[in-house]
Structure 1
């Protein structure tokens, strides 16, 4: 008996050693480098926030780190500079960047809104109609939805011939510039529009712009990371999809979670919450919007185009979305 034990014990010791030193699948995931996502600090990013705060990324076995940043143009820049793997941005940011680079791809749209952008002036300016913007200074964020929005509004209201001065600045500078008189109007996104109304509502005048422009917010990746990270991106989209289901079933709790994360009052979220359509998709509507905006950008000289409208089909990759089980992919 003792002889048998002496033969068995070394193997038992080896087994115990291996069990203690060889990482399990879970521990490997815990120590894996996170997929960093530059996320714009807007309620449009709610599905990512919910997925993070409810540990849905963990549930789908993908390690994610959200890096909050002000504006989709900035998050796109972080991705371009290889500071992060993924970025959130409007389709306008995709369009503007498509004229200078083709090393990125849209994985999915995850929210839409026809009322996230606002055109604001001061009541004291007496600018009550779009045609009165003739010769005025309009503040906007360069190469973003903010820039396209003001032009879409002017075109759709029959004022495309009205000439105004584009004044480019950071999103955080728009409100102070309007209040100081540096600019006569601003094209601004939420929650910045709400914040101006909250603090200076008696001074602010807002144009009726709901339905003028249907913005989509998208998850963007570098093409160079796509093949190696496709499995992770599938899991990320699956987690976002589950987060969107949670938002639909638990709107009040969702608003509370997003409010805490963004450090804004719930009533600020409610200002535009009903305008958000949370869903994962890749459709011909996105493709059409990109083409329309690109033609506008060329016609207005907002971009330098040597070869015409880019082929946006080459900048959209639906593989991750399809593998995540989404059927709203029509390209």
Structure 2
């Protein structure tokens, strides 16, 4: 073999070896590249019905999805968290459908992009049986506490309508959620329409006197994540990362309920017994389904019929549901019927 051919062979071997080393080193560097952390301000009411979001934060799932979350959980309801988002104080909020519907009559700069908790028992009417209230029919002439403009008010009205009781046949009193148990205990109100964990507290603090009024599954609550359309346009990956973290969290909650209940109990200072009951009454899964739309339409009709809104035209609520983030992460979870074209 000539010297030239030997040199060519040597250079070829060296080139292949260097190329392999460079490719391996580059691949390793790419794999080790840190996740780009995207900032998001999240407004969430701290309670059992927002469990997936609370656990996603405490277990580090948001951070592992690439989110740097500015966390605010001192809101008393989804309504106040949602309104904070609309004021520009947060980018994403956790909310039930009622505040979304109420604001949908006069603005359309926001939408729901994921539902993660649904239940027919998430809101309850707790009543003082020793003051004569055991069933819905007993509510006539009694004073019932509620949180105006929330699922508390809607649930009570739905229960009354289901039992053919006119709203004016019941006296209502606006309350703050955290005061429900004390007001019921004092007798200032004889019943209260409230969500968990306040419903459980009202029962626990009135042993032998308080009962749950049968509701016949009159209303499904849906707890959702919502954002402004402007934020979604500027930070589309943030919404997808939130969905990814919630998918991981709901999987954990369903696969390891005892551990999830233990961790949640520590976060919201709640005993194991009510958490076990709540798990049985609640579905933790990601969705955007037709029932969600039907619920919002029914809520809008309720608001118009009861003159909580002057508008007579029901908004098109498909404009308030953004399917893209969930559709990309878990397409089978999106079952909303949409018009083509």
Which residue does 1:16 correspond to in 2?
none
Give, in angstroms, the shift of residue 217 of structure 1: 0.3
Displacement of 1:65: 3.2
SS in 1 for 2:160: helix
Residue equivalent to 2:324? 319
* Counterpart for residue 96 of structure 1: 102
For structure 1, the 5+ residue unaligned runs are: 1-23
1:278 and 2:271 are equivalent in the alignment: no
Residue from 139, 154, 157 that aligns with 1:133: 139
CA contact (8 A) 1:178 1:186 kept: yes
1:27-42 residue pairs with structure 2 within 5 A? 29=37, 34-42=39-47
User: What secondary structure does 2:332 align onto?
Assistant: coil
2:49 aligned with 1:49? no
Instruction: Give the structure-1-normalised TM-score.
Output: 0.86
CA contact under 8 A between 2:137 and 2:163: conserved in structure 1? no
- The structural deviation recorded for 1:161 is 6.6
Q: 1:62 to 1:287 in 2, by over 3 A?
A: same
After TM superposition, the score normalised by the length of structure 2 is: 0.83
1:158 alignment counterpart: 164
Query: What's the CA shift for 1:116?
Result: 1.2
Which protein shows a greater Rg?
2
Aligned twin of 2:226: 220
Matched, 1:252 2:258: yes
Describe the superposition over 1:191-213 as per-residue Cα deviations: whole angstroms up to 9, x where unpaired.
01111222212221321125221
Q: Deviations over 1:51-105 (max 9, x none)?
A: 2222222222222233212211111121112111111111122122222332210
Equivalent-residue separation in structure 1 for 2:321 and 2:155 (angstroms): 22
Unaligned runs of 5+ in 2: 1-31, 337-341
* Pick aligned residue for 1:207 from 210, 213, 237: 213
Change (3 A) 1:148 1:27: closer
Q: Deviations over 1:17-62 (max 9, x none)?
A: xxxxxxx963863xx5x31211121222121122222222222222
> In the alignment, which residue of structure 2 is the partner of 1:183?
189
- Determine if the alignment matches structure 1 residue 26 to structure 2 residue 34: yes
- State the SS of the aligned residue for 2:261: helix
**Residue from 76, 80, 84 that aligns with 1:74:** 80
> What RMSD, in angstroms, separates the aligned Cα atoms of the two structures?
1.9
Is 1:329 the counterpart of 2:334? The answer is yes
- Contact 2:126–2:202 (CA<8 Å) still a contact in 1? no
Say whether the 8 Å CA contact 1:238–1:325 is kept in structure 2: no
Count of aligned pairs between the two proteins:
304
Pick aligned residue for 1:169 from 162, 168, 175 = 175
Structure 1 partner of 2:313 = 308
